[in-house]
Amino acid sequence: AQTVTQSQPEMSVQEAETVTLSCTYDTSENNYYLFWYKQPPSRQMILVIRQEAYKQQNATENRFSVNFQKAAKSFSLKISDSQLGDTAMYFCAFMKGSNYQLIWGAGTKLIIKP
């Protein structure tokens, strides 16, 4: 069975710093998708970034980028120039190709301090 592990329950950094959130997963599949979702205090679940396993190039969305290490089964999220609005829970999630079911990590609470 697939599992997703986020080893950092909580992190805090100063505004404008760079922060990296860790995620590891366990699967024997070759075709899958990985996601980072953000959940601010409003509880809305917001997609941050997605990565297809067959793509070697790391996904990037503005200040957000990933370091996808397929052999190590690692999928970390880097937030550059962090902003107060980045304060949220961040969830890493895995989906086997066309399986429909997202497997979620337990989340990392990120606090950006002014």
Partner 1 sequence: NAGVTQTPKFQVLKTGQSMTLQCAQDMNHNSMYWYRQDPGMGLRLIYYSASEGTTDKGEVPNGYNVSRLNKREFSLRLESAAPSQTSVYFCASSDSLSETQYFGPGTRLLVL
Residues near partner 1 (CB under 8 A): 4, 33, 35, 37, 42-47, 50, 91, 93, 95, 97-98, 100-102, 104-107
- Contact indicator for 75, 24 with CB cutoff of 8 Å: yes
d(CA 44, CA 59): 23
* Residue among 47 and 84 whose Cβ is closer to partner 1: 47
- Contact indicator for 49, 66 with CB cutoff of 8 Å: yes
* Residue among 45 and 84 whose Cβ is closer to partner 1: 45
- Contact indicator for 62, 78 with CB cutoff of 8 Å: no
Shortest Å distance, C-beta 36 to partner 1? 12
Name the 3-class secondary structure at 86.
helix
Shortest Å distance, C-beta 43 to partner 1? 5
Owner of token pair 């860790």:
22
Shortest Å distance, C-beta 41 to partner 1? 12
N-term to C-term CA, the chain: 41
Shortest Å distance, C-beta 45 to partner 1? 4
* Residue among 33 and 64 whose Cβ is closer to partner 1: 33
